[in-house]
Amino acid sequence: MTDNPQYILFGAGATGRFVTRDMIATGNPPVAIADNDPKKYGTKFEGIKILSPTAARHSFPDAEWIAAVMDPKFEAELTAQIAALGVKTSSFWDFIPNRDAEIPPAAFQTIKNIAGDVDTTNELLDQQRFRRHRDHKRQIPAMPIEELYFPDFIEKLDEEVYLDAGAADGDSIRAFISRWPRYFGIFAFEPDPANAEKLSKATWDIQKVFRSQSALSDHLHKTSFAAVGDCSSHIGVGGIEVQCITLDYFRTNSDINPTFIKMDIEGEELNALWGARNLIRKHSPVLAICAYHTADHLWEIPLLIHALQPAYKLFLRRYRPGSWEHVWYAVPPERIVK
């Protein structure tokens, strides 16, 4: 490495986007993101241009390349492609310190004691091993991504009120409807204007879908928002301002009691849960909460949920290799499939 190395991140998928954001946060932003998809060329993520591998190699001949992929289907291909370029390489694990912190012993023991099943305990143990050794090839296999948010152990309600926080382009709503054909209503929160437009187009013909461009947090306020038009949009430094509300405020002003809440809101989950504390304490909706945007969410989210409503049974599932796509499910005992 040179004193001021340049880095090219290869892979503009979900892993690449998380790594890009972490590299920026730690003061090592990539000079470019390379990808094999021509549709992405010339676009930007977090202000960094996405180029073809050839263009990136030509523009930054001395840069070190980082393969940002963990999916076994693509990992070998991408690694071989980088080797063929004859460039210097680095590991993305060196740039994501907030992704793989170990679970504190006291938190680990507490969560182990309140785990809803042996699969949750096994995933916690597996994640602790992974965070110590960072070898995703030795992990317990991830759950099928098709089961994300809607596992079979949750009992369905004919009058389900589904609330989707971070609805993006409506993909989770479509997945919900495919599994819950009978429901009372769907409430979708998506503050990114481009995503909200996609959501509207994707759900215009679905009955009983109500949409909001408010963001969810722990108090009412307006804040800056990074709107990038995909699932990685997030509260933080960005080009637009959004209104934040709480789910307690939503319930009070709409008289709607959600029975199933999904949250994938790019790191704002803890705040949004605190903003739903009265709803959670009084009504115990099923919760499906993403817990991978920062390392401590793996233990902070279940500890908060348990403190708010000890009656919940807590289940942890992972849908990607490494420490990505962890979801904590909080399920009232009466809604666990026997």
Give the dihedral of Cα atoms 292, 231, 65, 63; nearest 10 deg.
-120
CA–CA separation, 203 and 207 (whole Å): 8
Q: Is the full-model pTM beyond 0.75?
A: yes
98 Cβ contact partners less than 8 Å away, ≥ 6 residues apart: 22, 25, 294, 295
Quote the pLDDT of residue 99. Answer: 64
Question: Hey, what are 181's tokens?
Answer: 């054909």
Question: Hey, what are 329's tokens?
Answer: 């499910």
Helix (H, G, I), strand (E, B) or coil at 54: helix
Answer with the residue of higher pLDDT: 90 or 136.
90
Mean pLDDT comparison of 46-55, 62-71, 271-280, highest-scoring range: 271-280
Q: Flag whether pLDDT at 71 surpasses 90.
A: no
Quote the pLDDT of residue 201. Answer: 94
33 Cβ contact partners less than 8 Å away, ≥ 6 residues apart: 8, 9, 10, 11, 12, 16, 20, 45, 48, 49, 50, 51, 56
Token pair 């348990």 in the structure block, residue: 306
Tens of pLDDT along 150-191? 999 999 999 999 999 999 999 999 999 999 989 999 999 999
Q: Which helix (H) or strand (E) holds 298?
A: helix 297-308
Question: Hey, what are 211's tokens?
Answer: 């949409």
282 — phi, psi (to 5°)?
-90, -30
Q: How many residues does the chain have?
A: 338
Q: Which domains does the chain have, with CATH numbers?
A: 7-95 (3.40.50.720), 105-335 (3.40.50.150)
Q: Residue 96: pLDDT band by 50, 70, 90 thresholds? A: confident
Quote the pLDDT of residue 137. Answer: 80
Answer with the residue of higher pLDDT: 236 or 298.
298
Q: Flag whether pLDDT at 257 surpasses 80.
A: yes
The closest alpha carbon to 278, from 218, 227, 329, belongs to: 218
What value does the mean pLDDT of the chain take? 92
Q: Residue 3: pLDDT band by 50, 70, 90 thresholds? A: low
Q: Helices 105-114 and 118-133: crossing angle, nearest 10°?
A: 160
The closest alpha carbon to 192, from 163, 221, 235, belongs to: 235
